[in-house]
Amino acid sequence: MKQLIILLVITSMFQQNIAANAPEWGVTGHRTIGEIAEKHLSKKAKKQLEHLLQGQGLAIVSTFGDEIKSDDKYDKYYTWHFVNFPFDTKYENSEKDKNGDIVMGIEQCVKILKDPSASQEDKVFYLKFLVHLVGDLHQPLHVGRSEDKGGNDIKVLWHYKKSNLHRVWDSDMIEFYNMSYTELSSNAKTLSNAQIESIAAGTVLDWTYESQALAKKVYASAKQDDKLSYDYSYKHFDLVRSQLQKSGIRLAKILNEVFG
């Protein structure tokens, strides 16, 4: 009996650790963003990225920001994956986390990549992190409410399995769609040059407000203990795909500016 209790405690701790380190957008989502970004890079940016990443593509390094969560020496970057400030207010006027947030994180990554005195090691680290953070910014609930941890506390059933609203948008809908990241990226919506320029326009802060506006719609789409299934994907998966594509285009814009 005692051994059984110990086993149950260990299992519970393991499950909690997995939940705490659940990836944003999931592996497939982040890699889709990286793959889309590759298609919008300038020749000069591609050349410099190949040198820095030693031939690795953006899709491969896109999950770096989640992978390092398993090492506690990177705990200081935890708050860089999101930002919470009251809806319909200005980020500039909000109380900032002393450890930083996703807006500050992206700005810091860009600053180091542009710094000629930064070491090669630092540039590689912050480049990989930048690829990840730009992806996170476009998952609306990463600019959600602090009181429910960006939808993590809104428990729902996804096709009869326990989940939460944040996870549904991170990965559940994407994985249920059952396409690889290369399939998702190659089947992204065809856009004109004018449409691409329109998406790439603006600043990181503009994109933050855009994600927050979408977060309000996501919160309105479900409530505690809802049973979500095919109908939910039918209504909302187009937005997921749109955000993945926007994120890839905007990531490429930042990289082209940094390396161009």
What is the pLDDT confidence band of residue 212, given thresholds at 50, 70 and 90?
very high
Question: Which ranges of 164-229 does DSSP label H, i.e. alpha helix?
Answer: 165-167, 173-177, 181-186, 193-200, 204-220
Q: What number is the average pLDDT over the span 171-194?
A: 98
Distance CA 80, CA 254 (A): 18
Range 188-209 burial, b when 16+ CB lie within 10 A, else e: beeeeeeeeeebbeeebeebbe
Q: What number is the average pLDDT over the span 7-16?
A: 40
Distance CA 152, CA 148 (A): 6
Share of the chain above pLDDT 70, in %: 91
Q: What number is the average pLDDT over the span 208-226?
A: 98
- Give the pLDDT confidence of 48-57 residue by residue, as tens digits: 999 999 999 9
Q: Is residue 85 pLDDT above 90, yes or no?
A: yes
CB atoms closer than 10 angstroms to residue 7 = 10
Tokens of 106: 């992206």
Q: What number is the average pLDDT over the span 208-234?
A: 98
**Which has the closest alpha carbon to 179: 140, 228, 134, 237?**
237
CB atoms closer than 10 angstroms to residue 123 = 18
Q: Is residue 20 pLDDT above 80, yes or no?
A: no
Residues 6+ apart with CB under 8 A from 200: 249, 250, 252, 253
Domain boundaries of the chain, sorted by first residue: 2-259
Mean pLDDT estimate for the chain: 92
What is the pLDDT confidence band of residue 35, given thresholds at 50, 70 and 90?
very high
Secondary structure of 181-194 as H, E, C letters: HHHHHHCCCCCCHH
What is the pLDDT confidence band of residue 25, given thresholds at 50, 70 and 90?
confident
Q: What number is the average pLDDT over the span 135-151?
A: 98
Q: What's residue 24's pLDDT? A: 57
Q: What number is the average pLDDT over the span 178-197?
A: 98
Q: What's residue 7's pLDDT? A: 42
Q: Indicate the fold that domain 2-259 takes in CATH.
A: P1 Nuclease (1.10.575)
User: Integer distance in angstroms from the first to the last C-alpha of the chain?
Assistant: 65
Q: Is residue 1 pLDDT above 80, yes or no?
A: no
Q: Is residue 207 pLDDT above 90, yes or no?
A: yes
CA distances from 41 to 37, 85, 124, 191, 248 (A): 7, 32, 17, 16, 10
